[in-house]
Chains A and B, each alone.
Chain A
Amino acid sequence: MSQPGIFAALNEIIRRDLLLVLRRRSDVLTTVLFFIMVASLFPLGVGPEPAVLRTIAPGVLWVAALLSCLLSLGRLFTADYVDGVLEQMLLIPQPLSVLVIGKVAAHWLISGLPVVLLSPLLGLQFGLSGEALGVLTLSLLLGTPTLSFIGAIGAALTLGVRGSSVLIALLVLPLFIPVLIFGAGAVTSSASGIGAGAHLSLLGAGLLLALALAPWATATSLRIALE
C-alpha cells in the first residue's frame, strides 16, 4: 500500500480540523466576539477623545489579537488528547512536525484569519487613516501565524497539566512580546511617516524563524507529553 505524501497528509489534517470546526461553529464566533469586545472596552475605559484613541489603536488592536489567539490555544490539542486521537496521530508515517504545521495552519485559519479580516473595521472605529489601516492588516497577516506557531509550543507543553489554561498564558505571553512590539510598531511608524518597511520585514523574519523552529519544538513537546 502506498503511503500518502507529506503534502497530502498536511492537506488531510487541515481539512479534518476545519471540518470539525464547521460542525461546531460557535468556537470561531467566540474568538471573534472576544476580539471585538476587548477592543471595544478600551475606548470606554480611556475616553472618547479621537486623538488619544488614534494613538493607542495599534497597541490595543494588537493586544486584543494576541489575547484572542491565546484564548483559542487551549483547543489546539486538548480535544484530540482527551479522546486519544493524538496518540494515534503520533504513529503516522509522516514526520510529526508536518502534523503540527497542519494543526497550526488550521488554528490560524479558524482564529487568526477572522481577526485579520476584522481589524480594518475596528481600526476605522479608532479613527486610523487609510494607509495605517492597510499596514495594520498587513502586520496582523504576518504576525498572527507567528503567534499560532509559538502558541502551539505552549499548548503542547501544558497538555493535560493541572491549571493549564493559566499556565499557558504565563508561558506564551512573554514569547509573544517581540511580535507585539514589531506589529504595533509597524502601524505607529507608518502613522508617523517613517514607513513600516523595517518592522514588517522583521515580522516576516519572525514568521520564517517560527515556521522553521516551532513545529520541531512542538513535536518534541507532544512526544514528552504523551510518552
Chain B
Amino acid sequence: MALAQINWFKYSSPQAFYPLAGRMIPWFATIAALLIGVGLYIGFFVAPTDFQQGQSYRIIFVHVPAAWMSMFLYVVMAIWAGLGLGLNARPSFMMAQAIAPTGALFTFLALFTGAMWGKPTWGAWWVWDARLTSELILLFLYAGVMLLRTSIDDPRRADRASAVFALVGVVNVPIIYFSVRWWNTLHQGASVSMTAAPKMAATMLTAMLVMTLGFWMYSIAVTLARMRCVILERERRSSWGMHHSHREAVEVH
C-alpha cells in the first residue's frame, strides 16, 4: 500500500500548505539556531589558529557557507521556477519568489565578509578577481529576478517572466564555480572538493560544514515564513485568506 495511497499533491494547494509551513517553521528555526551556535563555537574557540593568516581567517566560517548557500539557493530557486513553468503550478512560483531575498542576503553576506577578510589578507577591500566578480554578478541576477517581478503588475505574468529569467541566469552559476579554473586569479583555489582530500584541518572543515547546515536550515525556516506571507497576500480576497489575515493581525497586536 503506502506510497501509492499517499496524496502527494495534497500540500500543493496554498490553503493546505499554509498551516503545514506554520508547523514546520519552529522546528527548522530551532535546528538552525543550534547548528549555527555549535558551528560558531567550533569555529571561534576549537579550530586552531592559521599559521599564516592568524585569527583573521576565522571569517571563513561565515564567508564560505554564505557563498555556498548563495549559489545553492539560486539553483534551488531556478528549479522551483522551472517546475512552475513545466507543471504550471502556482505554489512553485511562490516558492521561487520566497527564496530570492534569502539568496540575495547570503550573496551580500559573502561579498561583505569577503571584503572584511580581504583587507588584512590581501591588503585591499576589493579586488577584481573572477570569483568576487562572479559573486557580484550573482547579486545582480538576484536583483534582476526580484525587480522584474515587482515591475509587472499581473501576478501570473510576473511569476512566469521572473521564472524564465531565473532559468536564464542559472547559466551563470557554473561560470562562478569554474571561474577559478577559467581565469588565472588572486583568489586562492578551492580548498574543499568532492574528489580530493581536503587541505585543511578536520576541525575547520567540521565547523564550516556545521555552519553550512545551519544556514541551510535557516534558509528553509525563513523561506517558509515568507511563503506564508506570499500566500496570504495572494489569497487575501478568498474567504479562507481573509480569515487567516485577520487572525495574523490579531496575533500581532
CB <8 Å contact, B157 and A224? yes
A177 and B133 CA atoms in complex are apart in Å by: 10
Interface string of A143-156 (1 = CB under 8 A from B): 00000000001000
CB <8 Å contact, A157 and B164? yes
A217 CB-CB contact with B under 8 Å: yes
Q: How far is the CB of A126 from chain B (nearest CB, A)?
A: 21
CB-CB under 8 A from B167, the residues of chain A are 217
A161 and B85 CA atoms in complex are apart in Å by: 20
Q: Return the chain B residue nearest A227 by Cβ.
A: B157
CB-CB under 8 A from B183, the residues of chain A are 181
A133 and B161 CA atoms in complex are apart in Å by: 40
CB <8 Å contact, B161 and A175? no
CB <8 Å contact, A217 and B168? yes
- Provide a sorted-by-A list of 23 A–B residue pairs whose CB atoms are within 8 angstroms: A153-B165, A157-B148, A158-B148, A161-B148, A161-B151, A163-B151, A164-B151, A167-B147, A167-B148, A167-B151, A170-B140, A170-B144, A174-B141, A175-B172, A177-B133, A177-B137, A181-B183, A217-B164, A221-B164, A224-B157, A224-B160, A225-B157, A227-B157
CB-CB under 8 A from B24, the residues of chain A are none
B124 CB-CB contact with A under 8 Å: no
Known: A157-B161, A178-B175. A170 touches B152 (CB 8 A): no
Interface string of A187-204 (1 = CB under 8 A from B): 000000000000000000
CB-CB under 8 A from A170, the residues of chain B are 140, 143-144, 147
CB <8 Å contact, B151 and A225? no
CB-CB under 8 A from A224, the residues of chain B are 157, 160-161, 164
A85 and B31 CA atoms in complex are apart in Å by: 56
CB <8 Å contact, B137 and A225? no
Tell me the count of chain B residues lying within 8 A, CB to CB, of chain A.
23
Contact residue among B85, B148, B171 (Cβ-Cβ distance under 8 Å from A171): B148
CB <8 Å contact, A162 and B151? yes
B214 CB-CB contact with A under 8 Å: no
Contact residue among B85, B143, B161, B168 (Cβ-Cβ distance under 8 Å from A225): B161
B169 CB-CB contact with A under 8 Å: yes
CB <8 Å contact, B164 and A220? yes
Q: How far is the CB of B148 from chain A (nearest CB, A)?
A: 6
Interface string of A22-52 (1 = CB under 8 A from B): 0000000000000000000000000000000
Interface string of B128-141 (1 = CB under 8 A from A): 00000100010011
Top 8 closest pairs, chain A to chain B, by CB: A174-B140, A224-B160, A171-B144, A174-B137, A157-B161, A221-B164, A161-B151, A161-B152
CB-CB under 8 A from A158, the residues of chain B are 148, 151
Q: Name the residue among B141, B151, B175 with the largest chain A CB count within 10 angstroms.
A: B151
CB-CB under 8 A from B164, the residues of chain A are 153, 157, 217, 220-221, 224
A174 and B141 CA atoms in complex are apart in Å by: 7
A27 and B168 CA atoms in complex are apart in Å by: 29
CB-CB under 8 A from A162, the residues of chain B are 151
Interface string of A169-184 (1 = CB under 8 A from B): 0110111011001000
CB-CB under 8 A from B168, the residues of chain A are 153, 175, 217
